[in-house]
Amino acid sequence: MTEPVYYKGDELRRRQLAVGTTLEELETLLHPMVEDASEAIGSMGDDTPLAVLSPRYRGLSHYFRQMFSQVTNPPIDSLREAGVMSLATRLGNLGNILDQSAEQCDMLQLPSLC
């Protein structure tokens, strides 16, 4: 069995920055877990600007974590799900959604395979 590795000071901060850990994440998520042994309470979703619009660097790991989960009440069961939900994907430029023109019809719709 190997000994756990503990990092301190600048080395710890350098490693936190390398994986995109922010001070906000430490205070909001980790602090309650350490201090009170309770679940961390955070916001639902990601309210930060898109990486291409942000003046701050966002690490690659930000694109591979779950940003949002939706809970329905009551839960939608698998038998009725296909009748009320669609996983079809539309490709094309929708443009102004209030405009009714022929250009709005230039879309490719890919059906769901589920």
Question: Which tens digit of pLDDT belongs to each residue from 12-21?
Answer: 889 888 887 8
Token look-up 């539309």 returns 90
Question: Please, what is the average pLDDT of the chain?
Answer: 76
Host domain of residue 30:
9-110
Let me know if residue 45 belongs to a domain: yes
Say whether pLDDT at 66 is over 60.
no
Let me know if residue 106 belongs to a domain: yes
- CA-based nearest residue to 48, from 35, 39, 57: 57
Let me know if residue 3 belongs to a domain: no
Let me know if residue 61 belongs to a domain: yes
Query: DSSP secondary-structure letter at 58?
Result: -
Which residues are CB-neighbours of 88 under 8 A, at least 6 positions away?
A: 109, 110, 111, 112
Query: Whole-angstrom Cα distance, residue 14 to residue 40?
Result: 24
- What total number of domains does the chain contain? 1
